[in-house]
Structure 1
Amino acid sequence: MATTDRKAATLALAHALSAAERGLAVIPLSRTKLPALRSPHRDEPGPAPCHGACGRFGHGVYDASTDPARIRALFAAAPWATGYGIACGLPPHHLIGVDLDTKPGTDAPAALRALALRHLFTIPETVVVTTPSGGRHLWLSGPSDVVVPNSAGRLAPGIDIRGAGGYLVGPGSRTVHGVYGTDPGTAHLAPAPCPPALLRLLLPPARPPGPPVPEGTGRHGHGLVQFVLDAHAGQRNTRLFWAACRAYENGIGAALAAPLLDAAVHTGLPEPEARATIASAERMAGHRE
């Protein structure tokens, strides 16, 4: 490895460990902004619903951790990594990324201002990450009982949302296009709470009620099942994994496994895939302490 690449890899690990100290779960990224570790299932026939239950690295955002030893192991397995990704939707911040792009013919900042005026919200002072192309990522925190899905251009052209199952390129990462940084005066800030009016715009419409939830799991258990029921195509697995992780973290995973499975199947997720996702969540919940 060239000296420049070694330096970039060392800096990426240092930035990743610093982010983890702030409670942000991270993974190594290559210069292309993609996860640096390839899937261990890439040569296996058919779909691979495994989200880390196999015990190997290479499951993208599902590898994300705040544990320094695990982060060092991830980067040791990917010595070519020159950046790091920050997983969204995980505690304690439940990060939501508002990606304001700079594509020709779009003015994402103006579109966001127009949305704010129309729906009566103000973007609070928060972390702002600058991209090599001139774009900006606004970091916001969401409620612990809400799953914000990923979307591209749904709010307005040039505005992408990074939510549960997605990740943001961390400041200090080096890519083929340059280095990600932070706006002056924002690096020390914590992600500000997402304005309720904006949060409502980020959530898809609710689905009809689904299977019953066992007594004893409380309102939180009912909410997790409903979040799975609210999933639409393209986000069903992500929502199920997120909800199952929260259930196991709160000590109600065993009681909620069957209702979550029923809810996922109700939305159209194949039962074997749903079972594998819940099993992965049970295992992965231990890496997010």
Structure 2
Amino acid sequence: MATFDRRSATLALAHALSAAERGLPVIPLSATKLPAIRSPHRDDPHPVGCHGECGRPGHGVHDATTDLAEVRALFAAAPWATGYGIACGRPPFHLIGVDLDVKHADAPADVTAELRHLALEHLFTLPPTVTVLTPSGGRHLWLTGPPDVVVPNSASRLAPGIDIRGTGGYLVGPGSVTAKGAYRLAPGSEHLDPAPCPRPLLALIAPPPAPPRSRAAHTPGTPPGQAHGHGQGRGLVHFVRTAHEGQRNTRLFWAACRAYENGLGDSLTEALTTAAVHTGLTEHEARTTIQSAARLTQHTETSPPPPRERAL
């Protein structure tokens, strides 16, 4: 077993270096598919919102790099790593992962057929692209997104068994070995580059356009930020409350991001949660999405412009 682990670790580093040379930011993963390096803040008495600013490894996907020397250093710090993760949403590819997860409790017998049905319903064709076969029998499709669009992670929101890996997420790279088996490139995709995400699919998985800004005049004597925040807060809540099925999570995520960027996140959390529950999300789903928005905005200095696509 020790020889097998050593061989797997060596191969994982080799595959990770190859991916980094292609411009894909990588991190070492353990056999559980989790980041191999533990957080340097794990023993701190209070939670630390550090995303690598401390200069030490152990910040998960925030450690991902294309620098070959840094990749070697990360794997040297985790000699038990048997796989590697590829960060999504990073330049130059702005990778988006479509995870066809056959292990999901509600997944149909043929998750690929479910994706084909979505493509037929929303009038798009999936182009030939990098495809990674998973040990469970699923597959990961690699697509690229526009640099000005932040695609959130989601699980079975599009359809049961179809997960999306976007900004803040990662994909297990081909050549990785986990406790369940190995990840490998599908035959015929070895020499392909990630294909651009079809625009109708991007419209389904990306946050929708911004709601119209309030034109209410500023009241004299009221701090400008407070007046702006109050009006925008009502607009964001209304924007979430009027979401239709297929828009609910992305509208909530987008509105929560804007709320946190404008200093309204904590004060609007309950109102946004209530609005999301009104549309059909569970309270747990709503709060999880809002927490994801809070984490994202903590380390994003500027908000990317909304996508040009109109939500379907």
| Common topology (TM > 0.5) | yes
Q: Identify unmatched segments of 5+ residues in structure 1.
A: 212-228, 240-259, 280-289
State the match for 1:265 in structure 2.
Answer: 263
Q: 1:20 Cα deviation (Å)?
A: 0.6
Distance across 1 between alignment mates of 2:297 and 2:264:
13
> Does the residue aligned with 2:84 lie in a helix, a strand or coil?
strand
In the TM superposition, what whole-angstrom CA distance separates every residue of 1:238-273 from its partner, at most 9, and x where no partner exists?
A: x7xxxxxxxxxxxxxxxxxxxx99725244499x98
State the match for 1:277 in structure 2.
Answer: 299
2:197 to 194, 197, 203: 194
State the match for 1:28 in structure 2.
Answer: 28
Q: Percent identity?
A: 65
- TM-score, with length taken from structure 1: 0.75
* Aligned-residue CA RMSD (Å): 2.9
The residue identity in structure 2 corresponding to 1:40 is: P
Aligned residue runs from structure 1 range 246-265, under 5 A: 263=261, 265=263
The residue identity in structure 2 corresponding to 1:135 is: G
> Does the residue aligned with 2:71 lie in a helix, a strand or coil?
helix
Higher relative contact order (CA 8 A, sep 6+): 1
Aligned residue runs from structure 1 range 194-273, under 5 A: 194-208=197-211, 263=261, 265-268=263-266
Give yes or no for contact 1:210–1:263 (8 Å, CA) kept in 2. no
> Does the residue aligned with 1:138 lie in a helix, a strand or coil?
strand
Give yes or no for contact 2:152–2:165 (8 Å, CA) kept in 1. yes
Distance across 1 between alignment mates of 2:19 and 2:10:
14
Rg larger in structure: 2
How many residue pairs get aligned? The number is 240
Distance across 2 between alignment mates of 1:234 and 1:198:
17
Q: 1:181 Cα deviation (Å)?
A: 0.2
Give yes or no for contact 1:265–1:274 (8 Å, CA) kept in 2. no
State the match for 1:256 in structure 2.
Answer: none
Residues 1:132 and 2:135 are matched in the alignment: yes
- TM-score, with length taken from structure 2: 0.70
Distance across 2 between alignment mates of 1:3 and 1:32:
19
Q: 1:205 Cα deviation (Å)?
A: 3.4
Q: Identify unmatched segments of 5+ residues in structure 2.
A: 215-235, 240-249, 267-289, 302-312
Distance across 2 between alignment mates of 1:209 and 1:12:
48
Q: 1:178 Cα deviation (Å)?
A: 0.5
